[in-house]
Chains A and B, each alone.
Chain A
Amino acid sequence: MLEQGRQVINYLQQHGVDYADIRIHQLDEEETIATMKGDVDKYNLVSKQGYGIRVLVNGAWGFASSEVMTLTAMQQTGHQAIAKAKNASDYIQQKVRLAPKAVIQDSYSSPCQIDPFTVSTQDKLARLLQLDSQLADKRFDYWGVSASFYKRDILYIDSEGSEIRRHLIELDAELFAYAKDQNGEQCRRTFNLPQDANGTTGWENIINDAQFDHTARIREELLALLDAPECEKEVCDVILLPEMMALQTHETIGHALELDRILGYELSYAGGSHVDLADFGQLQFGSHKLTARADGTVANSPGSIGYDDDGVKARNVTLIKNGVLQDAITSRQMIMEANAKAGRTIFSASGATSRAQNYSNLPIERMNNINIDPGQDGSLADIIAATENGLLMETPRSWSIGSNRENFHFATEVAWKIKHGKITHIVRNATYRGDSLSFWNALDMVGDERTWQLQPVFQCGKGQPNQIMRLAHGIPACRFKNVQVGE
């Protein structure tokens, strides 16, 4: 397939493209198992093959994809991409330019101890059904476990001479339980399998009780929620635990700092950003305790893929340093365009975040691992002890964000009231809202490394056509002052 891919690139160059790349998914498999109330609710196998061809002609992109793997079909698909680029070039203001990058011949493999696709079906079912049984309670309506395993072999070749193979394995797993509360209204508790940033990504995560068997905690928390009082409307401090911090970071730092979004390319769908190019190096995005990164070099994460779909090697980019905005989530194309628009060099190199969901999609700026550095405010217990009147919140239940990411309204699955440095009781239906910049500037305590976790996200949507991306957030527990809750 490597030789065939090279032939396609040569063929496209002979037909006048300024640049071309091909991404060939030689293998693209998914296995999903879900249980519910002791039954196997779903067992599904997916197998795909296909490729996408991207070309630059007259300074405009054209892209076409197909699942017919012959050389002739690839050449025809390339012609479609060329025709589309020519049409697109009829309405451009400035030609696409790509920032320089190193020519790479390399390969990357996800770190994995036990390839989930080598584990027997019986063993997989037995483990998931065991966890399912541990979630059961007579007050619950539904409970279960789901796990999805992904394996992809992707060959990338471009006209600049790069040839990169990626062998990617990812897994996504969840526990869930639903029950009716005292008013007959449904409550839920869920738990997403976190990743060990320095570990591996295989079946070993599923059989590690310390990592995945949170069944007892989830069951007990849901039982407590059923008889809990509702969250009251007030202004108080909030402490966000890792699953909630991941959402907060994702929606109000991650999406807000995608450079294509800042420039206006997402306007018709996802929206814009309150951040302007003039803000870089100046905007006090958050308090001095906030340092955030787009770190594609995390050893083990669905957001770590070695090289992005521009063929750029993963980097660790500081987005926000001590509260001041420094950089963005960037690609080769967008940094050239942004620097030209700003009239100064804001972005020195691509952040290697140009990614496509599938062979049928054009790559765009996507989050990789949008992380927040751990702080020096101690453990979670230390933060709780320092809180006079607050709410400790965990696990997203709902999220709605302003179109420029300027404000947000989030609901959580569970929260605990804190009074005078102690947790007093659990509350249900907790919500909070705020203005993004005010909120991050109200960050006054950042937990240390003991509170830091890597939370994977497997369902991040962006773009037209919409693309679902896999990524993660490494975040500590954090406290924010004077937040509106319960509304």
Chain B
Amino acid sequence: MSKQSTHKAMHTAMQPVLQLLTEINTFMKNEGITGSITYRQESSHMVRCGRSQISLNVSEEGEKYFVEIQASQRKISGSTTAQANDSDKLKTLVSTLNERVKLMPEVAHMSPMTAIVQGDLNRFNADGALINLDSKVMVDLFKRCGEHFAHGNVEVSGAFSAGVYSYAIINTLVDAPVAYQGSDYNVELVLQLLDHDKKELRVADVGEALNQFDANSLIKQLDASYQLLTNTPRQDIEPGEYDVIFHADAFGDLINYLGYMALHGETYQYGMGMLQQDKHQIGSQLFGSNFTITDDPTDPEVLFARPVGENGIARQPFPLISDGVLSNQFYSDKDDCDRFGIARNNDMDVASIKVATGNGPTDFAAMVKSCTKPTLFISFIHYMNLTNAAKGEFTGSSRFGTFLIADGEIKAHLYNQRINDSYHRIFNQIEWLSSQLHHVNMSSTYGMRSASSIACPRFVKVNKVKITGSSAPGKG
């Protein structure tokens, strides 16, 4: 796995922004105001394809400033769109909030504001090729895909998003802002097979720089799935417990939910996740001993690593689940942490989650060959949601290719299967994990761009997953 970007350039607009933040921070200090200012910026491009044609080709330029003021144990926040020459607009917002904060009741548990981290921490990692991307590159992917599958009665869909995003933060306890600028692209390419009951296939990719994008590879992967789906019979299976091999796109989604349900400290404190404080603490064996998760911004295998969170907290290697044992939880939000008298230790919003690999197969053929007993292959989970958060129970249905494997070969492709299980069971019943990582996109791509991905093994086999229904008529 190599997704390290090589082509970096600083967005020229950042320097005036850092000057403006410093100016407003000085203004606040001179006015005797305690508070912080956060800047967020994005330039986003997106091309969307549907019915084998471009349906949407859009771009967005956005800059927002977020001001937070704390007066003793009173607090207020506000934000506005502004440009780097709009210092008067920001000063007006600061003054408005400063007047209104006096009306807020005191909050007894509110702790004093703390200084944001200082030092040589600014990172400008944006790929110049993504800052002003010509949408022709994005359109061409879908066009080439359409040409590749022109022989079949298929419709090409998908979305290709790319852009640059920045944040910078300063507060009145320090003199200098800390800033980050990065770029990302993420692509998903979908085929609908009109002659095959509108079955669907999907491939996806995520990266930091345009030179990591490989259209040929994506189309080749899609073609491989196409061959599988068009050369195997479709069948349905009875509800029950099945061994399931999840592709990284499906497993990454499970990990994403697990993050909120078990690794999000505030959720744990509020009792809104799957862990109960009287049963599960740091040090508890939650899951199987073959399951390890880290957040390490120094790990060369993760994407979008940030040394400082959007909350101004420095980030260090942060083990989360170590051999199944809960090692750490994220505490990112000051208001929530104040309520529980806990210090912030990270920023979950910019975490670089990685699931440790195992010794399982890495390529599709070897994975199939490894299945001698009936096993389901699930490539993607559609619309996962929690049916009982306290028990860690969830539901969701497979999508974009679900296969029945046995005797070392694919026997059939299946209707989409509905899973009703719990994260406790899933992560305690992992049989093996691939020895190779795959990046799964988790980015917010528009409206307030922020890149994120989960690195997890390409395939993960889990025993006895509960299947309760399917998309076959009458089986929902």
Q: Which residues of A contact B386 (CB under 8 A)?
A: 398
In contact, A399 and B385 (Cβ under 8 angstroms): yes
CA of A309 to CA of B208 in the docked complex: distance in angstroms?
34
Q: Of B105, B190, B276, B445, which one neighbours A40 at CB under 8 angstroms?
A: B105
For A404, the chain B residues whose CB sits under 8 A away are 198, 471
- Smallest CB–CB gap between B35 and chain A, Å? 14
B473 partner residues in chain A, CB cutoff 8 A: 435
Residue-wise, chain A 44-59 has the 8 Å CB interface mask toward B (1 for contact) of 1111111000000000
Q: Give min CB distance, B52 to chain A, whole Å.
A: 6
Interface residues of A (CB under 8 A from B): 36, 39-50, 60-68, 77, 80, 83-85, 87-94, 121-122, 125, 129, 141-142, 178, 180, 183-187, 260, 263-269, 271-272, 357-358, 360-362, 397-404, 406-409, 411, 429, 431, 433-436, 438, 464-466, 487
For residue B64, give the distance in angstroms from its CB to the closest CB of chain A.
8
Q: Are B271 and A121 in contact (CB under 8 A)?
A: no
Cβ of B221 under 8 Å from chain A: no
By a CB distance below 8 angstroms, the chain B residues around A184 are 276, 278-279
Compute how far the CA of A63 lies from the CA of B135 in the bound complex, rounded to whole angstroms.
Answer: 12
Can you list 10 A-B contacts with CB-CB less than 8 angstroms, sorted by A residue number? A61-B55, A83-B135, A84-B59, A87-B136, A91-B143, A93-B51, A186-B271, A400-B383, A403-B383, A466-B447
When A93-B53, A267-B157, A438-B474 are in contact, do A84 and B385 touch as well, CB less than 8 Å? no
A397 to B445, CA, bound (A): 27
Contact A268 B54 (CB under 8 A): no
Tell me if A264 and B62 are in contact (CB < 8 A).
no
A400 lies within 8 A of B136 (CB):
no
Which of B54, B387, B416 meets A92, CB within 8 Å?
Answer: B54
The reply to whether A268 and B103 contact each other, CB–CB distance below 8 Å, is no
Among the interface residues A63, A87, A88, which one has the most CB atoms of the partner chain B within 10 A?
A88
Please name all residues of chain A whose beta carbon is closer than 8 Å to the beta carbon of B159 when the two chains form the complex.
Answer: 268-269, 464
A-chain residues with CB within 8 Å of residue B107 when the two chains form the complex: 39-40
Q: Are B143 and A429 in contact (CB under 8 A)?
A: no
Contact A80 B59 (CB under 8 A): yes
- Given known A-B contacts A47-B81, A265-B51, A271-B382, A465 and B447 have beta carbons under 8 A apart: yes
* B383:A401 contact, CB within 8 angstroms: yes
Chain A to chain B: the 5 pairs with minimum beta-carbon distance, closest first:
A407-B476, A465-B446, A185-B390, A265-B50, A45-B78
In the bound complex, do residue B198 and residue A272 qualify as a contact, i.e. CB atoms below 8 Å apart?
yes
With a cutoff of 8 Å between Cβ atoms, the chain B residues found around residue A272 in the complex are 192, 198, 200
B142 close to chain A: CB less than 8 A: yes
A-side interface mostly: mixed
Cross-chain contact B476 with A434 (CB below 8 angstroms): yes
**Interface segment, B1-9, B392-400, B425-433?**
B392-400
Shortest beta-carbon distance from B54 to chain A in Å: 4
Q: Is the CB of A407 within 8 A of B471?
A: yes
Give chain B interface residues in 36-83, CB to chain A under 8 Å: 44, 46-64, 75-81, 83
Chain B residue contacts of A88, Cβ below 8 A: 47, 54, 56-57, 135, 139
What is the bound-complex CA distance between A483 and B433, given in angstroms?
Answer: 39
Question: Nearest CB to that of B474 among chain A residues?
Answer: A435
Given contacts A45-B77, A93-B51, could you give 11 more A-B pairs where the C-beta distance is less than 8 Å?
A49-B81, A63-B59, A68-B61, A90-B139, A92-B53, A121-B103, A184-B276, A260-B50, A357-B447, A398-B387, A403-B382
Q: Is the CB of B105 within 8 A of A125?
A: yes
* Contact of B413 with A by CB under 8 A: no
Contact, CB under 8 Å: A402 / B58: no
CA distance A94 to B52 in the complex (A): 10
In the bound complex, residues from chain B placing their C-beta under 8 Å from that of A62 are: 57-58
Q: A48-B81, A435-B476 are in contact. Are A400 and B395 (CB under 8 A)?
A: yes
Interface pair A50/B81, CB less than 8 Å apart? yes
Q: Contact between A466 and B270 (Cβ–Cβ < 8 Å)?
A: no
Q: A268-B157, A398-B386, A411-B387 are in contact. Are A185 and B56 (CB under 8 A)?
A: no
Closest residue of chain A to B44 (Cβ to Cβ) is A465
Min distance, Cβ B57 to any Cβ of chain A, angstroms: 4
